[in-house]
Amino acid sequence: MTRTSSRLANDAWEALLTAHAALIKHLAADRIWHEVTMREYDVLYTLSKCDRPTRIGELNRNVLLSQPALSRLVERLAERGLIERSADPADGRGVRLSLTEAGRLQQRRVGGRHAVGVARAVAAELSEEEMRQLEAICRKLSGADRAAGPDRNDTATSEPEEVTT
Amino acid sequence: MTRTSSRLANDAWEALLTAHAALIKHLAADRIWHEVTMREYDVLYTLSKCDRPTRIGELNRNVLLSQPALSRLVERLAERGLIERSADPADGRGVRLSLTEAGRLQQRRVGGRHAVGVARAVAAELSEEEMRQLEAICRKLSGADRAAGPDRNDTATSEPEEVTT
DNA sequence: TTCAAGTAGATGCAAACGCATATACATCGG
DNA sequence: CCGATGTATATGCGTTTGCATCTACTTGAA
């Protein structure tokens, strides 16, 4: 690890953090978070990308929350009828989560409007080429290695967001 | 806003969010957050970059916390003797914050070790060219425009992190 | 089969958060 | 100079978070 490489890495990370904070704040100002908060949406969105019932632990790998916090967030969403919890037939300890129809609708409604805000904010600053580069670099940065398992099935079945508004 | 541009923007944003979450989790696992949490460090670090006493409101533009939460975090840090609050002579409402010597030491100690972790994590996945691109793109993305003020003095006096370990 | 060790999720509790609002000072028109 | 409006930070309060721990189930080896 050379001195200059370390410096480059830290500068890049700080820039990413700054951009993240700025965009989050900007997007949080959108008037679309009355019914679901950004964190709740994060869970709904993540679930919407899964074609089959998902374990809480699996969700927890994608969501930046402690396991107990996610567990309770899931509980609240279930009480609100947005997601469904069912026992895992293959593992008595596990809980499998899936969106209810209401949850799917809610996710689509909020997601559509949210996507507009994201597009506006990002496309206002970056060229299409830059957006592509950013995505590619961030994907590399997410590095399959972290997360320990070398055999991660990195949700190759992407189909990120539907702007069906 | 073309359909493809919107899609690119949303894909890029999702990739950024994913990378952010993955790195944060990875870095949070470093055993250096006993004395200051990541959020506390964020404040100490931000202050360390300011050569003169800084307003809470100004800090709040860089830190992803509500104003009341930041206000109380600052209070806790002050009680622990890491930062100092003083009245702003030019504005009776304002509070000016600055690191104490202990705060500066703490920031440097943690910062040095943190920077090692960042360097390891980032440089392990990206080439130097990619790090430079990521930084440049993220800086653009932070867009001086958001934040309303067109006359922001974007801390041009950078000198991000000292890896003096 | 049995039991020790491991893993998934839930729960108690104190700390921290966000929202609404209060307080104190600034600023500006009259 | 004075009140109306605006801004900076603090505080009350209900909600959410994280840490430690608990429970329930699985796994693997004797």
Task: Provide the positions of strand C that have an atom within 7 A of a protein CB.
Answer: 6-12, 16-20, 24-27
Q: Which residues of A touch B13 (CB under 8 A)?
A: 23, 118, 122
CA distance B134 to B128: 10
Q: Which residue has the higher pLDDT, B158 or A8?
A: A8
Nearest to B59 by CA among B51, B69, B70, B68: B70
Nearest to B25 by CA among A133, A128, A48, A66: A66
B92 CA: nearest nucleotide by C1': C25
CA distance B54 to B60: 10
Q: Is the dihedral of CA B100, B101, B106, B107 positive or negative?
A: positive
Enter the DSSP assignment of A85.
Answer: E
Res A159: pLDDT = 38
Q: Taking all residues of chain A, what is their mean pLDDT, rounded to a whole number?
A: 89
Fold of A33-141: Arc Repressor Mutant, subunit A (1.10.10)
pLDDT at A145 over 70: no
Binary contact (A23, B141; C-beta < 8 A): yes
Res A14: pLDDT = 98
Nearest to A16 by CA among B23, B157, B26: B23
Res A84: pLDDT = 97
Distance, CA of A164 to C1' of D6, in Å: 41
Strands annotated E in chain B: 54-55, 83-88, 91-99
Res B103: pLDDT = 97
Enter the DSSP assignment of B151.
Answer: T
Q: Is the CB of B135 under 7 A from strand C?
A: no
How many beta carbons lie within 10 A of that of residue B146, not counting itself? 18
Q: b vs e for B74-92, b when ≥16 Cβ sit within 10 Å of the residue's Cβ?
A: beebbeeebbbeeeeeeee
Res B162: pLDDT = 44
Alpha helices, DSSP H, located in B80-142: 101-123, 128-141
**Distance set, CA B68 to CA A127, A150, B60, B71, B74 (Å):** 37, 42, 10, 5, 10
Res B3: pLDDT = 78
How many beta carbons lie within 10 A of that of residue B54, not counting itself? 19
CA distance A100 to A97: 9
Pair B61, B155: CB distance under 8 Å? no
Instruction: Report the range of poorest mean pLDDT among A23-27, A58-62, A128-132, B2-6.
Output: B2-6
CA distance A21 to B142: 8
Q: Is the CB of B88 under 7 A from strand C?
A: no
Pair B117, B51: CB distance under 8 Å? no
Residues of chain B with pLDDT under 70: 144-165
Binary contact (A11, B131; C-beta < 8 A): yes
pLDDT at A113 over 70: yes
Q: Which residues of A touch B126 (CB under 8 A)?
A: 9, 12, 137, 140-141
Strand bridging mode B54-55 / B91-99: antiparallel
Res B1: pLDDT = 76
CA distance B48 to B45: 5
Half-sphere CA count of B87, side-chain side, radius 13 A:
5
Res B155: pLDDT = 36
State mean pLDDT over A95-109. 98
Alpha helices, DSSP H, located in A29-155: 38-48, 56-62, 67-79, 101-123, 128-141
Enter the DSSP assignment of A154.
Answer: -
Res A143: pLDDT = 80
Q: Which residues of A touch B145 (CB under 8 A)?
A: 124
